Amino acid sequence: MNRRAIYVAALVFILATILALPLGRYPVTVWEIGGALWANFLGEPTAREREISFLFLSVRLPRIFAAILVGASLSLSGAVYQSVFRNPLVSPGILGVLAGASAGGAVGIVVFSSWPLTQILACAGGVFGVTLSLALSRLYPRSPLLALLVGGLVCGSFFTAVASLFKYVADVDNQLPELVYWLMGTLSRTTGTQLAYVAPLLTIGVLALAASGRTVNALSLGEEEALSLGVNAKLARLKLIGLATMVCSLSVVLAGIVNWVGLVIPHVARLVLGPNNLTVLPASALFGATFVLLTDAVVRSTWTAEFPLGVFTAIICLPLFAFSLWRDWARS
Amino acid sequence: MIEVRDLSFAYYKGPKVLQSVTFRLDAGQTLCVLGPNGSGKTTLLKAILGFLPLPKHAVFIAGQPIETYDRPSLARLLAYVPQNLGAVFGYKVKDMVAMGRTGRKKWGDFDQEDLKKARAALELVGILSLAERPVTELSGGQARLTIIARALAQDSRLILMDEPTSGLDLSNQALVLSTMKRLNAEAKVAFLMTTHHPEQAVYLGGEALLMKAGRALAFGEARTLTTIKAVEDLYDLKPGLLSQMGLSPVCLEGTYGD
């Protein structure tokens, strides 16, 4: 592991978090936030300090935590999928995980209007999405790399159609706007309650995935080499795909579909630090968290009407992806 | 070290690829499995490595049936060098070699001892100067040596290789085979390899197993077993063809140098 690189990435991430704290439609400085929290702790806050504390603890802090978790989950699971499937072009979006989770979530919102059930259905949709993509790819074994990409795209279209169907039948006044905005990818509706449901599982999943670099390296060499290196390849692969799918699906519950982060950020991490997953996995988590944190800070503070996060990440990620592909080509 | 007892195997419901194969290889010995395409050489290698669902008590490693080992324990006894490097990503040579220590760790990064072992393996194989190179930029011979170094870092007592010189030019074949011979002589590393070339079995010394249509035809010292007659029979060659071409396993013995 390149520890120095991880420390630098962690430092950048901490600085980005401090930078994101005061940014938003309600402008406050870091000092004001600190002062308000301290005054609340002492029990003698002014009305403005009370307001700032409320805003910070109920709105901004959950949103910042959610951005960190969503960015880390998507990027990390993208890095794991790419190595385990031995295909640098797959991602949670391309494998149909995000579309599957969004279809499951749409069923939860429209049919059941229940938060825990929405969460379970989103996870089930994500698992179903990746399973269907894999099953479709097996139908064309002559070119497994291409088959997985096409299988994922077909599967993604299918689940997008399912989600559209639920948009069509959703209640126009209440459910439809919520569903449409959520599917575009946004953290503006993240609440402390949602976070309390999702964060523990997401945090455990992210930490477990970030610590699995050795096994992921072995699996990236193929099943027989992994077996000969002492890794129970089938079980390890199943666990990693399951864990990566769970964190992606839970990120969809928090933020809807935030596209391209899972494809592009692992490429950037490999471009900067090389392909060794002992470094790439924790670095992808930190890079992804920093990226979504800063992107969300921009979308919530730059325009009067908030821009959907998923749309903005897609706009930024396209040139980043083109650059990383070009660098890779130029190096070889 | 390895004992194969009356091993038969078929993929799914297909015909038998291995039929009643029996042989025994002691620790430190080198064995070349020879035979034409489709004779079951690679299947035998995969069976010994535990990649295939085998009948019980057919393969014994260090005196115990293979089915009693878990993967990390088996990786401490046997290492595998496939024909081609499986890396899709351009890992550095030193990282690839360190991966040989994977089965010895439960959690976290490799420690100093692992990195020391990896470096020693690179030195022993003679590719320390390549340590920082991406494996995707290596020549065929260098790539095979990298996987041999990874197998050495694994600290296994026997390295199994599937046609280690396949697809290599003559100089790279010589590089790989002379390194194997040196490692066997100096570091007492044993090899079990499949090959199409009888002269390689003679060059490496040790034992040979002749296979045809899934059966073990003969097992014994490579030099005495690979006669012109035996090779002609094994590969269904017209009698006298090898001599007409001026070739024989023994005359090719000096091909790879020392």
- Residue A166, in any domain of the structure: yes
Q: Which residue of A has its CA nearest to B105?
A: A214
Q: Which of A113, A106, A108 is nearest to A183 (CA)?
A: A106
Which are the contacts of A235, defined by CB distance < 8 A and separation ≥ 6?
Answer: none
If one counts every other C-beta atom within 10 angstroms of the C-beta of residue B81, the result is 25
- Asked whether the beta carbons of A252 and A105 are under 8 A apart, the reply is yes
- Residue A4, in any domain of the structure: no
> Rg (Cα) of chain B, in Å, rounded?
18
Residue A290 has pLDDT above 50, yes or no: yes
- Residue A234, in any domain of the structure: yes
Q: What is the pLDDT of residue A28?
A: 83
- Asked whether the beta carbons of A265 and A291 are under 8 A apart, the reply is yes
Complex prediction ipTM: 0.87
Q: What is the pLDDT of residue B251?
A: 45
Cβ separation of B86 and A225 shorter than 8 Å? yes
Q: Which residue of B has its CA nearest to A84?
A: B88
Give the dihedral sign, CA B4/B5/B10/B11.
Answer: negative
Residue B192 CA to residue B222 CA, distance in Å, equals 13
Beta strand B207-212 with B31-34 is: parallel
HSE at residue A109, side-chain half, CA atoms within 13 A, is 29
What CATH number is associated with residue A211? Answer: 1.10.3470.10
- Residue A27, in any domain of the structure: no
Q: Which residue of A has its CA nearest to B102?
A: A229
Asked if B121 reaches chain A (Cβ–Cβ under 8 Å), the answer is no
pLDDT in tens, A227-276: 999 999 989 988 999 999 999 988 988 888 888 899 999 999 999 998 99
Q: Which of A115, A76, A223, A15 is nearest to B82 (CA)?
A: A223
pLDDT in tens, B204-249: 888 999 999 889 888 999 888 888 888 888 888 888 777 777 666 5
- Residue A212, in any domain of the structure: yes
Residue B16 has pLDDT above 70, yes or no: yes
Domain containing residue A244: 65-331
Structural domain count, chain A: 1
Chain A: nearest CA to B195, how far in angstroms?
19
Q: Give me the helices (H) in A114-232, please.
A: 115-138, 144-169, 175-183, 192-210, 213-219, 223-228
pLDDT in tens, A178-214: 788 878 888 887 888 888 888 999 999 999 999 999 9
- Residue A22, in any domain of the structure: no
| β-sheet bridge partners, residue B23 | B4
Chain B, residues 194-233, CB within 8 A of chain A, namely none
Confidence bin at B258 (pLDDT 50/70/90) = very low
Amino acid at A263: L
Q: What is the pLDDT of residue A267?
A: 92
- Residue A3, in any domain of the structure: no
Q: What is the pLDDT of residue B247?
A: 64
- Residue A192, in any domain of the structure: yes
